[in-house]
Structures are given as C-alpha cells and as structure tokens.
A = this chain, B = another copy of it.
Amino acid sequence: MKFELTILGSGSSVPTSDRNSTAQVLNVLERYFLIDCAEATQHQLRRFHVPYNKIGHIFISHLHGDHYFGLLGFLSTLSMQGRKGEMHIYADVRLQEIMACQSRVLGSRFNFPLVFHPLSRQEETIYEDKVVTVTSFPLKHHYETPVCGFLFREKKRERTIRKEEAAAWKVPIAFMQYLKQGADFITPDGEIVSNRRLTLDPPPSRSYAYMTDTLYRERFATYVSGVDLLYHEATYSKVDERLAKEGYHSTAEQAACLAQEAGAGKLLLGHFSARYTDLSGLLAEAQAIFPNTFLCHDGEVFGIPPVKRNF
C-alpha cells in the first residue's frame, strides 16, 4: 500500500555535485509516475534503485531544460532495453513538436508507443485509474513558459468489513461488495443491521502535490487544499527575494506560506539555487511559518503510511 516519493534531483537549473536538476518518482500502489526529467535522470533512477521500467507516465511541468533534457536519453535507454508497453507523456504540446522534429530529422523512433497528452491552462484531471487521479493546474513562471503543477490523489477506498461481525450476522458472500460500499444489511427476518456495525471507515485517501518554477500566488493554495504532502520550490531564501521575483521563482518563506494557506500536512522544499551550499537558512525561514517542513536531498524517500499518522 505504498504512497512514496523519491527525490531524484533537488537542485535548480545548474546541477551541482550534490544536487541534480529536477526529477522525482511517485510510487502509488506500484504505479510509478515520473515527475519532470532533468538531464541525468536515468542515472539517478539507476543510482537510487528505482525500477524505472515500471514507469508508465511522465509528467513534465514546463519546457525549461532542467525539467526535460533527460527525457530523450531515458526513453532511448528504455527502447534499447526492449520496452514494448506504452509510455504516456503529459506536457506542453510543444514538447511533441520538438520530439517529432528530432525523429523526422534523424529518421529515428522508439520501439514502444509514445502517447502525448497536452496540458492545458486550466485545472483538469489528466489521468485516472481505479485507485488514483492526477490533476494539473496552472502556475506562474516566465510569460512565454506555461508551467503546471500536479496533484496526485488516491481515490476514496471501500469500507473495511469487520469480519467477525459479518460472520455473526451471517452476511452472504455475495452481499459483501454492497457492505464495502456502505449499504445496510437486512436479515432474512427483516432486521436492519446498520453498515456502521459491520464495517470500518476506509483509510483516508492520501495525496501529493508538486509545485515548481512559480511565483508565489496565494490563490494557488486552492489547487492543493488539504494535501498531505506538498513539494514546493524554494529556489531562493527570503534575503534574495528580489532574485526570486526577477527569476519568477519562490522563496522558502513563500513556500511555507502556501503550505499554511493550503492546510497541507507536510512541506518539502526543493529546486534550490546552486548559490546555496548551506540550506539551513532556507529551512529555518520556512519552519518559522510552517513547522512541518523538510529539505529535499537527492535520493531521499518520503512516504505516507496507509493510515494517516503524524508522518
């Protein structure tokens, strides 16, 4: 029942010896979602022992190189290693044009189908299966570079049957699926046994949101309201707020404000400028506003347990 985020790169545009540029993998019940794909992401996937051939969906927040220059290399490696299954890519439609151009000029192609899903400038569900939905929503970066955030949310699960109670009331097997969905049970004698006696609440749905390369805007908190785990870029410290504004980025303090406004459970900071070797100042300024804040490091894993605790 994993819901687990692996940080593949915690740096920003220029990689350093400690921090690669941005990429992450989210494992939701063995569905592997790759979020952004900086240069050398395939190296990081290997380094941190992620089963990268299980990745079936790649979400690219925007078309700055430090978020997608690793894509062609990663796909090429998968192709050479014999992948056959579809790969779904969610990105600015222009990425498709860039890849088509490369393919046309070189006459090259991958050995598996690529399925493109262009991102829009509106909040929308872009992926859905039995257990999870993914929503994209627009953020604010350089005017010529549309950026999307992503929200991954488990679907509401079925109620858990209290086996002993169900046995005592002789609930037929065929009726169990209705119990899971919340139905009361009526005995052959016509007695109504309330669903609450026969089942437990399902574990709460877990959620993760990814927001990078954006100016701080209070209204963005509504996209991720009540999220359990929030990753928000903190390219700069508040002492460099002018640089953040000029570069269309956020400070650690602004990331914390957004986490607070969203009522998030836990905040992860990342996308750090290469200018900072010591990140303790960024952590402190965020924790002053939102105490449950953590710094991301390459290779670090952040999980949400199936039953929500103080994680």
Q: Which A positions have Cβ atoms within 8 angstroms of B?
A: 13-17, 20, 39-40, 42-43, 46-47, 63, 65-66, 69-70, 72-73, 76-77, 80-81, 94, 97-98, 101-102, 105-107, 144
Contacts and interface: CB of A to CB of B under 8 A. Distances in A.
A97 B105 CA distance: 7
A40 B65 CA distance: 13
Contacts of A69: 39, 72-73, 76
B39 A70 contact: yes
Contacts of A106: 63, 94, 98
Contacts of A20: 43
- Specify how many copies of this chain sit in the oligomer: 2
Q: Which 7 A-B pairs have the closest CB atoms?
A: A101-B101, A39-B73, A40-B40, A69-B73, A65-B76, A94-B105, A97-B105
A15 B42 CA distance: 9
A144 B106 CA distance: 8
Given A13-B80, A14-B81, A65-B72, A43 B46 contact: no
Contact of A102 (B40, B46, B98): B98
Contacts of A97: 101, 105
A48 to B, nearest CB: 11
A43 B15 contact: yes
A154 B107 CA distance: 38
Given A63-B106, A98-B105, 7 more contacts: A39-B42, A65-B72, A66-B76, A94-B106, A98-B106, A101-B101, A101-B105
Nearest to A94: B105
Contact of A101 (B16, B66, B72, B102): B102
Contacts of A144: 107
Nearest to A96: B105
A109 to B, nearest CB: 12
Nearest to A101: B101
A63 B105 CA distance: 10
